[in-house]
Structure 1
Amino acid sequence: MNVKRMLIMSGACGVLASTISAALAQDVNEVAEVVIVTGSYIRGTPEDAALPVDVISSEELQKVGAPTTVELLKSLNVSSGVLGDTNQFDARAQGSEGSGSVNLRGFGPERTLVLLNGRRMVNNPFTGAVDTNLIPMAAIGRVEVLKDGAAATYGSDAIAGVVNFITKENFRGFEIGADYKYIADSDGDYTANLAYGFGTDRLNIMLAAGYQHRSELFVKDREWARRGYFDNPQGGYSAAGNPSTFIPLTPAGAQVAQIFRDPQCANLGGVPTLSGATPVCRWQYTLFDALTEKEDRYQVFGSADFDITDSTSLHFEALYAETEVPIYRTSPSYAMLQTPTSLATGGTSPVAGRFFVPRTHPAWNSFIASNPGVFPADATGALIVANRPFAIGGNPLFGYGSSEGPRNYDGMRLSAGLSGEIGENFGWDIAVTYMEENARREGRDTAVNRYQLALRGLGGAGCNVAANTPGANGCFWYNPFSNAIPGNPVTGASNATFNSAVSNDNPELIAWMFPEVWTEQTTELMVVDAVINGTTGLKLGGGEIAWAFGGQFRDNHFESRYSDLSNYAVTPCVNSISTGIVGPGACTPAQLAAPTGGLAFLGGSFDEDLDGDVYAVFGELSVPITDNFQAQLAVRYEDYGGNVGATTDPKLSLRWQLSDALALRGSVGTTFRGPTENDISEGSITSLQDVRGTFRAVRTFGNPDLKPEEATTFNVGAILKAGGFSASLDYWSFDFEKPIVSEPLTPLVDFVFPNGAATCSFANPLVYRFAFSGANCATADIIRVDRQRINGPGVKTTGLDLSTEFAWDMFAGTATLGINATYVLDYDVAAAFIDGQQVANPFDAAGKLNYQTTAYPLPQIKGQVFAEYAIGAHNIRYTMNYIDDYIDQRTAPFVATPDTGGVAITAGKVIEDTIMHDLHYFVTLPWEMSLTASVENFTDEDPSLARLDLSYDPFTSSAFGRTYKLGLRKKFGGD
């Protein structure tokens, strides 16, 4: 690749930057030998940079143990709320296990633009942000992070900044590498990669392939994650379980006043407690989950550069990447949020809409014999409340373990471009890039009416319900009592009352009652870029004025497909599924207007096929006013068409070299992000979120009236370099208007159910956002909450980025000390309104957990202190990683309730600061080999307690504990 093509590609895509553990971050000004263009289409060198950019080379990554993409992005000081570790209980990460993201400034991953060799990548269809796990790390030569708004240059999504992964250039020879990380209670993580490059004076070709394996780590294998109920009531405990709670019925059909929980609750490891006034058996569903799933990831990358003439070059690159999550573990079954209809009860239940087990059930007498006195002698049956089919005893369809459902992501990307020069003062670059990512997730849920039929002995695909032969002629019973549970598969506790004759170990019945559902979604992106640049011939004190001008066209496509059981066009309501799929004809007009599907817990949606085009033009000027004072101006116009409209965004950047040692830099501009096709579609996406202690279906609808969100950004900084000392300090500010967000869930719930109330008024102006299982307006009866995408409350945030480094000669080697940190001064969110009703007061999100708000977890300080010593072939680095404490600003989890025995549990109100210590050793060996050895978190610190399902914050902390990693690299031939 000639230098001209590399310059244009690197700049025309806006060199971003990245700072691994910002301990590695180097201010771009310190890498003068690397010719880059930072946030600009105008070619230049690092000395020209007016923007805050961090650069990390592949060599530097090797010195800190060759972190994975997730580890790299999670360690960035400027990134908070990173997706990549299991976090299935947060709606922002739900259903996207196996994918990754970067989240600069904690603004949301969709507000960070991620590029590969300066060209856009498509967003993951499940997360709406670029899936960083598809990046071909075996081919990456450096990573760069631009920590400033850059929409004036790059367009939508670059509000918080840009991260550019740049592949190796002029690579020659053959290189192989592998590493293994030991993680206690896991089979460990390992990677293998290879790269091959060859070329001539005019041709350069590189091929690279990588494989990464991540092993399962179970919640039950980390003591801090399986806390007792009275240590963390929010730590994955549910009142809807099995053993369940029963209400006996008399011969007259009346409910007996006595409500009782199954007596085997405590013996099987449950927690007998109350849910309001109802006795329930709480159980810890997270013990069936994994802290990290098994993941297998493959990437293949190839690039070719050919100098057609001395002034014209052709570039081509291709990428295929796939991530497989073969086993995604979740609860053995989900809570019954929807109730059966007369199609399933057959008129046998005297209480409409309640699950019912008749006295004729074959397990009834066995249950009474083991638990005498639980039912009145004349009981005709019982209602089942606070229940689910499988819980503490596991799901027999999966060997009495968790329910399972795989995830899969595969992406394909092609990019081709021509670039060149005409004369000495005019350059051009034209490129076409196409990328798609396909995502599929599978799972299982209970078909509501099938569950009720099985309770009556009429379960199974071959059962003729009309013939009414319970337990015969292809009909099966499901047993809701504890005598169907062999034991607790997590603790190993056995059940003395288990009766194998009435167990639920019937795969045919369970597969029918607990069917598989799936979702497939695809995103596609085609981008056409055209840029011309050059110099004007006008000279100022610092040289000629340079310019760039260009245009961009983006074609976005989104497609979603749902299985019949989760497709509202096929199964809009509970009546749509009985022994088979009845379809929409069994639903009422009201149910068709507000579909909830036929499953107990998981929501669904309609198939979608959406398209959107974006057109943009932009221009830049580089004005060297003097040798020491430079200005850069940029402006971009981007048109989305339709109701969304267009935006125009300018930016001004300045750099003033006061002396050889000291420089000042600053920038001010506006930036924006346009809504995606999903955002403006009238369809909905269903997530599962905690609503007053129980997970409920939450449907989030698109909004055709959305406008682009806008922000004014400001950055001012100083760079000091004298002898072996260098430092940079930047103050940054972002002022958001109309951010595109989902209406906040917790404020919506609190508005309808004020002051922790369990009941509400149907006169409340927002109560129509809730669907209830019965006639009561009560939290216990919520089956669904509806919200939509909006241009939400404004956000103003400011902070400081600090990077210092001091190097000196010591004992024939070089010692280095450094500090890298980001301090979020404030993150002020304005009052939130829904349908004109104020549902939340203004608040400062800095230093808060921000659960179910529009902000991510945001510790105020995140940084590293490092010490390094290099001598000859050896390099050793110590890093102390620091995450400041932050506050869970919720009230409800920390007050005394009957469930907690009237005692307020305050642990986790403050999520304590985290300090972890890493040690890395790197040595260059003979025969072009190198070895890395790392001990991370060598004091084996546990993550700090957060009152969340996994008892820690997966967006911020690590679940691994002390780890050991060993890696080896070998190169054959080349330069």
Structure 2
Amino acid sequence: MSYRFTKASLLTGTIMAGAMIASPALAQADDQDNEPATQPGVQAEEVAPIVVTGSRIARRNVETAAPIAVIQDEEFKLSGTVNVENVVNTLPQVVPGFTSNSNNPGTGTATLNLRGLGSARTLVLVNDRRWMFYDTSQVVDLNTIPSFLLDSVDVVTGGASAVYGSDALAGVVNFNLRQVDGIEMGGQYSITERGDGARYEVHGAIGTSFDDGRGSATVFAEYFNRDSIFQGDRAFSNFALGGESFGAPQQQFGSSTLPNGVIRYFGDGDRTGTDFAANNAVVFDDVAGDFRTRTGDTYNYAPVNYLQIPQERYLIGGYADYDIGGGHTFYTEVAFVNNRVAQELAATPVTGSFTVNLDTIQPFLDAGDFAQLQQLNATETDGDPDNITLFLQRRTIETGARNSLDERNAFRVLGGISGPIGDYLSYDAYYMYARTRNANIQDGNISRSAFQAGLDGTADPINIFGLGTLTPAMVDQISIRAQNGDVSTLENAVATVSGTFGDFAIGADSEPVAFAVGAEYRGVASQFIPDTALASGDVIGFNAGNPTEGSYNVKELFAELNVPIEFGSARLEFTGAARYSDYSLENVGGVWTYAGGVEFSPIPDVTLRGQYQRAVRAPNVGELFGGQSIGFPGATDPCGTAAATAGSALGNICVANGVPVANLGNPAIQLNAQIPALFGGNPNLEEETGDSWTAGIVLQPSFLPGLAITADYFDIEIANAITTISLQNSFDLCFNQVQDPNAAACGAFFGNGSIRNAAGAITTANPPVLGGQNVATLGVSGVDLQATYSTTIPFSLMTDTGEQDFNLSFLGTWTESSFFEPFAGADIVECAGQFGITCGEPTPSFKWTARASFIDGPLTTSIRWRHLSAVDDDDDSVDYAAFNGSERIPAYDLLDLTFSAEATENVTVTVGVNNIFDTLPQTPTFNGIEVSSVNNGTLLGDNQEQANTYPSTYDVLGRDFFVSALLKF
């Protein structure tokens, strides 16, 4: 049993010039570690409390029971990254979602998939608050976050719904933006060694304080442009490879839909003596109207597909705060993004059965070939002398490539106020509104109805019988521009009170017990608006789509508690959190999430920590309200089988479903082999639930200053996960296994009213709804290891001290398990160390990023090492290696080098090269001729994602250069 499910790789992180990158437990200066707790009466300004990702309690001790990895802003500068995705997707905790290399599949967005559990299960925050999402799946597009303003990025492992609400099943990623003091202007230019794929960015920001420091404001703007690269621009992706799945050697495989046209005949006419006799298929040669028996001809669609999708982005915004008196501060955030991203595919492949009028097409065919069609038609039993049904395949290269252009306009506004309540408490309340409007224009589509009309004589004839036979007038006649749009909105209001119970503490030397309580409201709404052509399914080229519209809201109460206990040099800390959420969704209703953690430091050098969290994710708008359309999949109704007897468990649930007792086990209740079912959203979905366990250790040995090590074990399992399974599997799960009408697994048959007629047959009047179902289980476990070391070395070229700083960092993950059970009783799919048809993106057992930085006065030299361990193909049914394919992708390593220099006090210049050794997927070998390539990868055929590889996991650009400059005044 095989299921397509994308689980994949995981984390990376680093440390940069003059700054050590670690979890908050590691990011402190050494003199903070042994600092005594604040005593009663000490003013808060002396030791400012810190809010860390994963808690709403401000505290002086910034260690946390939850594992947190932190990426500092230097990593974005030293890696030559403008888009957030390029750094985040190298984190060992992250499996690449959609990226700039995701053309097909892809959405023109950049998404974040933490732990490989799905982008919809990763909560993305900016400044500890929710950000705007882009479509009905309620997923954040990372292209909307300004990377040049990032101060740090926090990655929190495990469910965090008790603190932040729904969606945080895999964890939370928080992007912290910095305040600007003065004027900053900067820009960057990148280009590959092959002279293509240019990317350039310019930005500016102004920040200032005013009214004697009572207020501050930052405003910013950015422009970014990225050129396209086509698959034909790289040797490894220039040909569509495949064939192994059919037991043939890997070859230039391509598509069976050719530009010169293919005719297949499946009627009952006499094929004797015709070119159809061999295999029911003929293909046209370059001579128009002349066909021959088809013998394996294919079309190479690869070269005209994007390998890097083009992008143009405008981003403006700002944030400000002002003390209105008494420590009460009003703050606001505003952002607007205009993002244009294109995708491009080969010309439309028109396929399907069409009614062809012989008189209409006769002028376009060779006389002898036309006579063959006449023979087939004359000997058919349908009695129609004028028309014949043919299965046609024609790639309409005359229309040009298919191009999809997305233009997204998104804005977000937020206003809030915070301040003190007496001596021990403070409050924070804000309201946020975000809206994204996407306009999508598709060119290169063909209208199925116009194509049909040009063949059956009801419109001007079209000539599809040969290469280049469609005239401009014919192209205009059958072409159709399709458009669609979507609108997504998010409202979020949060009010929190936090502080301590006066000076109450457990132990004379302990900090006071701290808490936070609050309330939250969220309202989400989305709609997908296709034009008539897309909604009706008349479009050939891009996928048809049905309108989607829906919304829901949730009202929540939450609380957190922090209990520190200090005795001598030891420290013990307990944390707890709980949230009650009341959803407007009938099948979700009220749900609880909660968390509990403990930290223990027997000595300042060692901290042990552990945490358990229960998290939830409510279904998103697309899963709930996606436009529905009817289909007729083949399946066997269990209620018509011999096992359905009166009084049996199967018989009882069949009766509950509307089958008369007298008709139980009667095959006649199934009218035919194809049963009607609705496909699309499922309004009967319930929430997903996740359980996360983490346990770890933090080491900061006093005998070796500058060294910090953390190791954390994580185990995340999600039950009741939403997935789509076939009608037959749905039948088996509900009627043969669960046998409970009230169970989520039976929602397809009991949640849409009566689906059967009086005799017990499933009819088209009210068929079962086969959208997503709460039936899957998935999970991931492993160990994160982070180590940093900072020291000085006695050598310098740029300073008089004779010393320079030396920083090392390592962030890696061992993935113990990454599994997916599509529904109870199904085969469990294990994806750790695997890739391929079932698991999708490679999930290496080991993934890490390490960096070494030398800071010699104004000059920083930094080297980064990115590593993925080898992965094996997950498909046991095909031995790809036996057919010149790949059963294994070997271990993969990339080295990057960066130089950064402070040219003056106000000017910093950075230059670098990524992928120093030009490591690319392997170049193919054909006809005994080996094409040399420097590589450390393996070229994939049938078990690829796109471009003969997995382009979001493995580098496809090659050696890549960048230069940037930053001016500060």
Q: TM-score range by the shorter chain?
A: 0.7 to 0.9
1:546 to 2:514 alignment: yes
Q: 2:614 aligns with which of 670, 681, 684?
A: 670
1:635 to 2:652 alignment: no
Instruction: Give the secondary structure class of the aligned counterpart of 2:476.
Output: helix
Q: 1:917 aligns with which of 895, 898, 914?
A: 895
| Alpha-carbon distance between aligned partners in 2 of 1:18 and 1:426, rounded to the nearest angstrom | 38
Query: What residue identity is the alignment partner of 2:808?
Result: L
| Alpha-carbon distance between aligned partners in 1 of 2:101 and 2:965, rounded to the nearest angstrom | 28
> Contact (CA 8 Å) 2:548, 2:622: kept in 1 or not?
no
| Alpha-carbon distance between aligned partners in 1 of 2:327 and 2:242, rounded to the nearest angstrom | 72
| Alpha-carbon distance between aligned partners in 2 of 1:55 and 1:638, rounded to the nearest angstrom | 29
TM-score by length of 2: 0.77
Relative to 1, partners in 2 of residues 1:880 and 1:60: Cα closer, same or farther, differing over 3 Å?
A: closer
| Alpha-carbon distance between aligned partners in 2 of 1:137 and 1:18, rounded to the nearest angstrom | 19
* Cα offset, 1:60, TM superposition: 4.1
* Cα offset, 1:358, TM superposition: 5.2
1:71 to 2:86 alignment: yes
Instruction: Give the secondary structure class of the aligned counterpart of 2:834.
Output: coil
Query: What residue identity is the alignment partner of 2:912?
Result: S
1:238 to 2:237 alignment: no
- Tell me what 2:853 maps to: 868
Relative to 1, partners in 2 of residues 1:605 and 1:252: Cα closer, same or farther, differing over 3 Å?
A: closer
Q: 1:389 aligns with which of 372, 389, 394?
A: 394
Query: What residue identity is the alignment partner of 2:911?
Result: A
Relative to 1, partners in 2 of residues 1:856 and 1:223: Cα closer, same or farther, differing over 3 Å?
A: closer
Relative to 1, partners in 2 of residues 1:245 and 1:403: Cα closer, same or farther, differing over 3 Å?
A: same
- Tell me what 2:318 maps to: 302
Q: 1:659 aligns with which of 583, 593, 603?
A: 603
Instruction: Give the secondary structure class of the aligned counterpart of 1:430.
Output: strand
> Contact (CA 8 Å) 1:32, 1:46: kept in 2 or not?
no
> Contact (CA 8 Å) 1:57, 1:141: kept in 2 or not?
yes
Query: What residue identity is the alignment partner of 1:414?
Result: V
| Alpha-carbon distance between aligned partners in 2 of 1:679 and 1:912, rounded to the nearest angstrom | 37
Tell me, which stretches of 5 or more residues in structure 2 are unaligned?
1-9, 30-48, 245-249, 378-386, 632-676, 734-747, 749-767, 796-802, 922-936
Q: 2:531 aligns with which of 535, 546, 563?
A: 563
- Tell me what 2:777 maps to: 794
> Contact (CA 8 Å) 1:250, 1:378: kept in 2 or not?
no
| Alpha-carbon distance between aligned partners in 2 of 1:76 and 1:251, rounded to the nearest angstrom | 59
Query: What residue identity is the alignment partner of 2:558?
Result: F
Query: What residue identity is the alignment partner of 2:70?
Result: V
Matches of residues 374-453 of structure 1 in structure 2 within 5 Å? 376=372, 387-390=392-395, 394=397, 396-398=398-400, 402-443=401-442, 444-453=444-453
Q: 1:736 aligns with which of 718, 721, 724?
A: 718
- Tell me what 1:695 maps to: none
1:706 to 2:675 alignment: no
* Cα offset, 1:544, TM superposition: 1.1
* Cα offset, 1:925, TM superposition: 1.6
> Contact (CA 8 Å) 1:244, 1:281: kept in 2 or not?
no
Q: 2:812 aligns with which of 818, 821, 824?
A: 821
Matches of residues 801-816 of structure 1 in structure 2 within 5 Å? 801-810=784-793, 811=795, 812-816=803-807
TM-score by length of 1: 0.76
* Cα offset, 1:700, TM superposition: 5.1
* Higher RCO, Cα 8 Å, sep 6+: 2
Relative to 1, partners in 2 of residues 1:218 and 1:126: Cα closer, same or farther, differing over 3 Å?
A: farther
Q: 2:966 aligns with which of 958, 966, 969?
A: 969
Matches of residues 175-254 of structure 1 in structure 2 within 5 Å? 175-183=184-192, 184-200=194-210, 201-227=213-239, 229=241, 237-246=254-263
> Contact (CA 8 Å) 1:242, 1:390: kept in 2 or not?
yes
Q: 1:156 aligns with which of 137, 151, 166?
A: 166
- Tell me what 1:262 maps to: 283
CA deviations over 1:723-764 (Å, ceiling 9, x no partner) = 13211111001122111223379999999xxxxxxxxxxxxx
Query: What residue identity is the alignment partner of 1:300?
Result: I
- Tell me what 2:25 maps to: 29
Aligned length: 800
Query: What residue identity is the alignment partner of 2:614?
Result: T
Matches of residues 304-383 of structure 1 in structure 2 within 5 Å? 304-325=320-341, 327-337=342-352, 339-340=353-354, 345=356, 348=357, 360-361=362-363, 363-365=364-366, 376=372
Matches of residues 707-726 of structure 1 in structure 2 within 5 Å? 707-722=686-701, 723-726=705-708
Query: What residue identity is the alignment partner of 2:788?
Result: E
Relative to 1, partners in 2 of residues 1:249 and 1:965: Cα closer, same or farther, differing over 3 Å?
A: closer
Instruction: Give the secondary structure class of the aligned counterpart of 2:451.
Output: helix
Moved more, 432-441 or 523-532: 432-441
- Tell me what 1:55 maps to: 70
Query: What residue identity is the alignment partner of 1:704?
Result: P
> Contact (CA 8 Å) 1:242, 1:387: kept in 2 or not?
no
* Cα offset, 1:720, TM superposition: 1.0
| Alpha-carbon distance between aligned partners in 2 of 1:865 and 1:302, rounded to the nearest angstrom | 34
Q: 1:505 aligns with which of 471, 495, 519?
A: 471
Query: What residue identity is the alignment partner of 2:851?
Result: F
| Alpha-carbon distance between aligned partners in 1 of 2:769 and 2:441, rounded to the nearest angstrom | 24
Relative to 1, partners in 2 of residues 1:133 and 1:380: Cα closer, same or farther, differing over 3 Å?
A: same
Instruction: Give the secondary structure class of the aligned counterpart of 2:965.
Output: strand
Relative to 1, partners in 2 of residues 1:40 and 1:263: Cα closer, same or farther, differing over 3 Å?
A: same
> Contact (CA 8 Å) 2:266, 2:390: kept in 1 or not?
no
Query: What residue identity is the alignment partner of 1:619?
Result: A
Instruction: Give the secondary structure class of the aligned counterpart of 2:512.
Output: strand
Instruction: Give the secondary structure class of the aligned counterpart of 1:540.
Output: coil
Moved more, 704-713 or 374-383: 374-383
> Contact (CA 8 Å) 1:32, 1:45: kept in 2 or not?
no
| Alpha-carbon distance between aligned partners in 1 of 2:399 and 2:429, rounded to the nearest angstrom | 55
- Tell me what 2:831 maps to: 845
| Alpha-carbon distance between aligned partners in 2 of 1:744 and 1:916, rounded to the nearest angstrom | 41
Identity value in percent: 21
> Contact (CA 8 Å) 2:103, 2:308: kept in 1 or not?
no
> Contact (CA 8 Å) 1:117, 1:165: kept in 2 or not?
yes
> Contact (CA 8 Å) 2:722, 2:776: kept in 1 or not?
no
CA deviations over 1:149-175 (Å, ceiling 9, x no partner) = 211110101111111112212x22111
| Alpha-carbon distance between aligned partners in 2 of 1:953 and 1:74, rounded to the nearest angstrom | 13
* Cα offset, 1:937, TM superposition: 0.6
CA deviations over 1:359-403 (Å, ceiling 9, x no partner) = 522x324xx7xxx98975976999796654335xx3x333xxx12
> Contact (CA 8 Å) 2:817, 2:831: kept in 1 or not?
yes
1:615 to 2:615 alignment: no
| Alpha-carbon distance between aligned partners in 1 of 2:820 and 2:391, rounded to the nearest angstrom | 38
> Contact (CA 8 Å) 2:316, 2:336: kept in 1 or not?
yes
| Alpha-carbon distance between aligned partners in 2 of 1:875 and 1:287, rounded to the nearest angstrom | 40
CA deviations over 1:98-118 (Å, ceiling 9, x no partner) = x11111111101111111112
> Contact (CA 8 Å) 2:133, 2:436: kept in 1 or not?
yes
* Cα offset, 1:707, TM superposition: 1.2
CA deviations over 1:589-623 (Å, ceiling 9, x no partner) = xxxxxxxx233464434433312011111001110
Relative to 1, partners in 2 of residues 1:452 and 1:819: Cα closer, same or farther, differing over 3 Å?
A: same
> Contact (CA 8 Å) 1:38, 1:51: kept in 2 or not?
no
| Alpha-carbon distance between aligned partners in 1 of 2:591 and 2:625, rounded to the nearest angstrom | 20
Matches of residues 917-956 of structure 1 in structure 2 within 5 Å? 917-943=895-921, 944=937, 945-946=939-940, 947-948=943-944, 949-956=946-953
Query: What residue identity is the alignment partner of 2:428?
Result: D
> Contact (CA 8 Å) 1:20, 1:61: kept in 2 or not?
no
> Contact (CA 8 Å) 1:940, 1:961: kept in 2 or not?
yes
CA deviations over 1:239-297 (Å, ceiling 9, x no partner) = 222333336899998784434533638x99xxx999xxx74422122222111121101
Relative to 1, partners in 2 of residues 1:750 and 1:287: Cα closer, same or farther, differing over 3 Å?
A: farther
Instruction: Give the secondary structure class of the aligned counterpart of 1:450.
Output: helix
Instruction: Give the secondary structure class of the aligned counterpart of 1:658.
Output: strand
CA RMSD, 1 decimal = 3.5
